[in-house]
Amino acid sequence: MNDMADKTKITNRRFKDGDNAPRPLQEKIFLADASYKCPTYVHRTPPCQGSCPSGHDIRGWLSIARGIDKPPVEGMTWQEYAFQRMAEANPFPATMGRVCPAPCEDGCNRNEVDDFVGINAVEQYVGDYAIENKLTLPEPPADTGKKIAVIGGGPAGLSAAFHLRRRGHGVTVFEEHDELGGMMRYGIPSYRTPREMIDAEIQRILDMGVEAKTGIRVGTDIPLEQVEKDFDAVFWAIGAQTGRPLPVPGADAENCLTGVDFLEAFNKGKLQHTTERIIVVGGGDTSVDVASVARRIGAIENARENDRPEYVILGHTAHDVAGTMRRNGVDVVLTSLFPIDEMTAAEREREDAKREGVDLRGGVMPLEVLLDSDGRARGLKLCECTMTGNTPVPIEGTEFEIECDLVVSAIGQMGDMKGLEAIDNGHGFIATDPVYKVKNHEKHYAGGDIIRPHLLTTAIGHGAIAAESIDHALAGHPDEKRPKVDVFHFDLLAELHQRHLDPAEYDHTPTRGTADGEFAVHNYEDRGNTQIIPHKELFLGHFPYDERSRRNEIHISADDVLGNFEERIENLTEEQAIHEGERCMSCGMCFECDNCVIYCPQDAIFRVKKDKHAIGRYVDTDYSKCIGCHICEDVCPSGYIQMGLGE
């Protein structure tokens, strides 16, 4: 089969044969062979970035990887420049490159051509490079004299601490655990987030001058009133550390535990083995992590009474001799209300769990925890179900039982609000307004799972936005709302500044026209705050089929999983990372393909001089030659050219 016969390798055409219907007049104001419209260069947000909860400038650092946006400092590697761009939004690229489910890739317009750009893989590559080469975060500016307390040292809290410190504010992080990291450390197993990697990414933030006080719980060890007195603002990032039990009879048995508690005990090194038959109820990433950990740590022969997992997880004891005991495999059943292919867990993690011997059962709901004569769970009664939205509907006559020694509930989480009742919204969370200010509490802000349990990258984004809200409030002009498209936008003036191409200062005298004015940024419009560019506005026919560079993954069989804690994802090579940068279609921003220059029949479009070149400033238009034929817009692959002006 040749390439053209393989439909996966067919590229796109903007216009099909016979497609000659005129466009709406309000879009195309033609007069014979010309129009009153001429090209202008319009920046819009790409869908990858619009899909990213932390607002990464993904297109920006992929442009660096492909070599179009070159480092502004001589001797700087492209990897360091890309890391700086990444860290503007997210200071944890190595971590997120491993565990983020990458909604950016789902939103990638390249899916309309062949396959998404490997955004997550490039992020890991640059993140690992930054650690290996000991790259640092930017030096903070002069101290503002303002002090902010960040309560919680997880992804939301550390993100806020970073963004506040880079604005010159003093930051103190209070964390009740002995180490910082939150769910990155205590909620995800180490074979997914290596601890030395987490330590390195956290240390970069501390090296900026962020103070950390661990082993301290605000509301218990320190009164809330004292924190309010000592700091100018407070950011709550305490996470959702309390798991939800199953809402069925018998779920209060001592060997019915939550996934949050299970993983925390494992990640603290206390839980080293489990029982031989486990049922995990969930369907999300936490449930998959519980099941995968259980398969790895196994069970030991002749376990003592106080070696039972529930005793360890609830803090009554700890395993200390499991390493010398013979381990047996564990039978793990993971149940989900949704069908297996609709589970909320990342597909990669779900498929790994299946390979590793986890028995996945979708479309079933728990009805009752079955108890033995001692009141311990001996099994779980379930039935098949259908879903109406997020509500399960049982199918009558489909009941069945699964025997087990341990039931783990991973169906949701909420905050531990002990001592913090003043800011509890009554449901174990903190309520905030659109700028992440705690409702009815001055100078209090919140973000992360404590306002809405979601992804790590979501918590990172909350921390960044809340930091900006705090900064503006402390400066005396508090925010009331956020932009429609709330991400870290490309800034043309900042790009011109780092290239020493700043516009001349405007003397504010009346001027007729700006064509010859050096104080104006000509022929450019920024709609990034309000618009995300769809694939229909790109010239997809420009892009040929180009296979995605995939990271190698180490697949572990069910027979080999016991005791295997090796990392499963291998990194890209530099060549692969560059290749993925080249596959980016640069939606909403020029990537210097020369199409407009080549196809302009009037030679009206021309490249700017090299000493005036910057990202977004590659071509210009001579309007005395332009006849408004729209060809440049039609052949612009990235949708950067829009017809306007002179209407």
- Res 515: pLDDT: 72
Q: What stretches of 509-554 adopt beta strand conformation (E)? A: 524-526
Global confidence as pTM: 0.91
328: β partners: 299
Could you report the per-residue pLDDT of 514-546, keeping only the tens digit for each?
777 788 888 899 999 999 999 999 999 999 999
Domain extents in the chain? 10-133+490-644, 147-241+415-474, 243-412
- Res 647: pLDDT: 36
Could you report the per-residue pLDDT of 203-233, keeping only the tens digit for each?
999 999 999 999 999 999 999 999 999 999 9
Angle at 196 between CA 195 and CA 197, to 5 degrees: 90
Burial 294-330 (b: 16+ CB within 10 A, else e): bbbbbbbeebeeebbbbbbbeeeeebeebeebebeeb
Give CATH superfamily name and number for 243-412: FAD/NAD(P)-binding domain (3.50.50.60)
Q: What is the dihedral of CA 511, 515, 517, 522, to 10 degrees?
A: 110
Give me the residue label for tokens 């509890």. 424
Both tokens of 142, joined, read 């002069």
pLDDT-derived band at 279 (thresholds 50, 70, 90) equals: very high
Give yes or no for a contact between 118 and 551, defined as CB atoms under 8 angstroms apart.
yes
Give yes or no for a contact between 46 and 109, defined as CB atoms under 8 angstroms apart.
yes
Distance in angstroms (rounded) separating the CA atoms of residues 538 and 595: 13
Distance in angstroms (rounded) separating the CA atoms of residues 94 and 155: 13
Average pLDDT over the chain reads: 91
- Res 592: pLDDT: 95
- Res 323: pLDDT: 47
Give percent above pLDDT 90 in the chain. 81
Q: Who has greater pLDDT, 644 or 151?
A: 151
Per DSSP, the three-state class of 121 is: helix
- Res 4: pLDDT: 46
- Res 517: pLDDT: 78
Q: Report domain 147-241+415-474's class.
A: alpha beta
Could you report the per-residue pLDDT of 408-424, keeping only the tens digit for each?
999 999 999 998 999 99
Could you report the per-residue pLDDT of 149-196, keeping only the tens digit for each?
999 999 999 999 999 999 999 999 999 999 999 999 999 999 999 999
CA distances from 414 to 42, 259, 308, 575 (A): 43, 12, 26, 44
Instruction: Output DSSP code: residue 22.
Output: P
Of 644, 468, 490, which Cα lies nearest the Cα of 85? 490
pLDDT-derived band at 508 (thresholds 50, 70, 90) equals: confident
Burial 77-110 (b: 16+ CB within 10 A, else e): ebbbbbbbbbbbbbbbbbbbbbbbbbbbbebbbb
- pLDDT of 14 above 90: no
- Res 113: pLDDT: 94
Both tokens of 642, joined, read 């829009």
